[in-house]
């Protein structure tokens, strides 16, 4: 088995050539035609493997790769074979051997193909040897196809820190953007018609014997993929894309909080600062979008004078457009690109503050029990909490809900319904408290809109703003009752020990 440690970047086609330096090392050019195989139901992909046959100068090389999940490094098994079809007899020394039985050889068929012109060049960074590979070409799946313009940096020997050092240099000179998707992932997205749009959170798969530190890496990689997978929709000013990038950021920040006792303080503090910055830059777009859709647009059909409804809608439509342009520009900024590299290096190189004498199974069970008890205790006094205290409780509930999502693969099938009930209850509490928090923000927005309205529209706009505030105040009582009831019922749930 070989192990590859690499970073992949998307680069504007016109800037690809500038990456390779004259005199920095001999260049090697190849045309690589690779066909990826799987069953009609993508059995190999579902089990975390890819199977590829590559034509290299008339020779066929079969490659099995394992999913990267929580690390830059992943396993790779290569064998030369006789023809263009996979030879599963050559997989006996790979993790694929347990699947390569029965009818699988007959069920395999081409899923997609890549045709790439690759130029490679070796580079020395301090004492490390790194290979740069510039790829130009296309991915094709049936009638669908997409261009490929990317750079791969593979650490051949030396230190991971040098890989990231070169990555920063390349980003600074070419605006290269870290891409966590492999060609295989992009190919399967193309084949299924699911690529290019908004990306939702992927399931997190943990093994109970992992250390908390290794489990955190798996979780952090998953959340970073959620963030980066929505960069294009954010740049396209897609409202759901903005929402999903913010969800990814919240999930990563929640994971940092959940694992706070094992993460290194100094480097984590720097990462938290940058994640908070990005979250804050996206917040206005999401907040105004929700206010416009859920509070302003419906009032035209609820008896509010047309003039007032039109005036307040026009005002916030303009603010929404400006907020989405701000989000677009942030996702295209150098600071965003540097953040991705910094977070990836932090995930890979961050040490632990404690000895790893616990497994993630015992760590997760204790964490969930402790967090639920604290939330339940605070929830007993919900009606006495200030808006700021309710906001903090909502964040606490949200972190527990994310923890359930992160850890649910650790639990046996008999516990999955218990976890689903817990997650549903947490979602109801979070939604109720979130709406209450939105009402406070909406009240401020509506009041400012009324006070800042031009004289000609001030009375009509003030009436519309007052109508919105009144509606939301009336709804607040019911939400408080719902949240209090579900918080009280949390103690009835018991999640059994992790397997």
Tell me what pLDDT residue 493 has: 47
Distances (CA, A) of 477 to 370, 483, 484: 29, 10, 11
Which residues lie below 8 Å from residue 444, measured CB to CB, with a gap of 6+? none
Counting other chains too, the contacts that 226-233 makes at CB distance below 8 Å and 24 or more residues apart are: 226/199, 226/200, 226/201, 226/202, 226/251, 227/252, 227/340, 228/178, 228/179, 228/180, 228/340, 229/180, 229/181, 229/199, 230/198, 230/199, 231/177, 231/331, 231/336, 232/196, 233/197, 233/198, 233/199
CA atoms within 13 A on the CB side of 497: 3
* Distance in angstroms (rounded) separating the CA atoms of residues 460 and 466: 10
DSSP label of 209: T
User: What are the 10-residue block averages of pLDDT along the chain, 499 residues in total?
Assistant: 83 89 79 95 91 92 80 83 93 87 88 96 94 96 93 95 96 95 90 83 92 95 96 96 97 96 92 97 92 74 63 82 97 98 91 71 92 85 78 89 94 86 84 68 57 55 53 57 71 51
Model pTM? 0.86
Tell me what pLDDT residue 252 has: 98
Burial tier of 129 (Cβ tally within 10 Å: 0-12, 13-18, 19+): middle
Tell me what pLDDT residue 263 has: 93
| Strand ranges, E, within 159-214 | 177-178
DSSP label of 150: E
Query: Strand pairing of 59-66 and 49-56?
Result: antiparallel
Three-state DSSP class for residue 14: helix
For residue 120 the two structure tokens come to 């490679």
Ordered DSSP codes for 431-474: HHHHHHHHHHHHHHHHHHHHHTS-TTTHHHHHHHHHHHHHHHHH
For residue 56 the two structure tokens come to 């290299």
Tell me what pLDDT residue 492 has: 46
Show the domains of the chain with their CATH numbers.
2-195 (2.40.320.10), 239-492 (1.40.20.10)
């Amino acid at each position: 088995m070989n192990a590859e440690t690499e970073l992949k970047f998307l680069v504007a086609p016109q800037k690809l050539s500038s990456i390779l330096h004259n005199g920095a090392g001999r260049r090697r050019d190849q045309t690589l035609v690779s066909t990826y195989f799987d069953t009609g139901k993508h059995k190999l992909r579902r089990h975390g493997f890819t199977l590829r046959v590559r034509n290299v100068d008339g020779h066929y090389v079969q490659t099995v790769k394992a999913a990267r999940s929580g690390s830059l490094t992943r396993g790779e098994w290569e064998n030369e074979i006789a023809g263009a079809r996979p030879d599963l007899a050559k997989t006996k020394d790979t993790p694929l051997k347990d699947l390569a039985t029965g009818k699988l050889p007959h069920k395999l068929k081409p899923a997609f193909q890549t045709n790439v012109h690759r130029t490679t060049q070796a580079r020395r960074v301090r004492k490390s040897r790194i290979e740069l590979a510039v790829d130009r070409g296309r991915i094709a799946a049936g009638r669908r196809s997409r261009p490929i313009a990317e750079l791969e940096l593979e650490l051949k020997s030396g230190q991971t820190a040098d890989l990231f050092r070169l990555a920063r240099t390349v980003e600074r000179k070419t605006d290269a953007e870290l891409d966590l998707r492999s060609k295989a992932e992009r190919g399967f997205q193309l084949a299924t018609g699911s690529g290019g749009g908004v990306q939702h959170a992927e399931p997190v798969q943990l093994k109970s014997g992992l250390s908390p530190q290794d489990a955190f890496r798996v979780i952090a990689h998953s959340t970073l993929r959620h963030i980066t997978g929505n960069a294009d929709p954010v740049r396209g000013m897609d409202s759901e894309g903005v929402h999903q990038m913010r969800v990814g950021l919240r999930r990563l920040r929640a994971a940092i909080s959940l694992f706070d006792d094992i993460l290194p303080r100094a480097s984590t503090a720097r990462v938290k600062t940058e994640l908070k910055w990005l979250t804050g830059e996206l917040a206005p777009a999401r907040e105004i979008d929700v206010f416009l859709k859920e509070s302003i647009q419906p009032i035209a059909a609820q008896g509010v004078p047309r003039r007032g409804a039109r005036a307040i809608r026009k005002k916030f439509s303009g603010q929404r457009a400006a907020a989405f342009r701000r989000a677009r520009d942030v996702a295209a900024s150098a600071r965003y690109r540097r953040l991705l590299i910094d977070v990836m290096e932090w995930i890979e190189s961050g040490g632990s503050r404690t000895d790893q004498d616990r497994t993630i199974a015992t760590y997760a069970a204790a964490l969930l029990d402790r967090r639920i008890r604290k939330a339940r205790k605070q929830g007993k006094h919900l009606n006495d909490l200030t808006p700021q205290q309710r906001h903090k409780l909502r964040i606490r509930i949200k972190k527990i809900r994310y923890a359930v999502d992160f850890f649910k693969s650790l639990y046996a099938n008999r516990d999955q319904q218990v976890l689903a009930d817990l997650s549903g209850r947490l979602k109801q509490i979070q939604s109720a408290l979130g709406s209450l928090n939105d009402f406070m923000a909406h009240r401020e927005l509506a009041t400012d809109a009324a006070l800042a309205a031009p004289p000609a529209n001030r009375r009509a706009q003030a009436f519309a703003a007052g109508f919105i505030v009144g509606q939301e105040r009336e709804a607040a009582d019911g939400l408080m009752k719902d949240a209090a009831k579900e918080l009280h019922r949390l103690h009835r749930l018991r999640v059994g020990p992790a397997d």
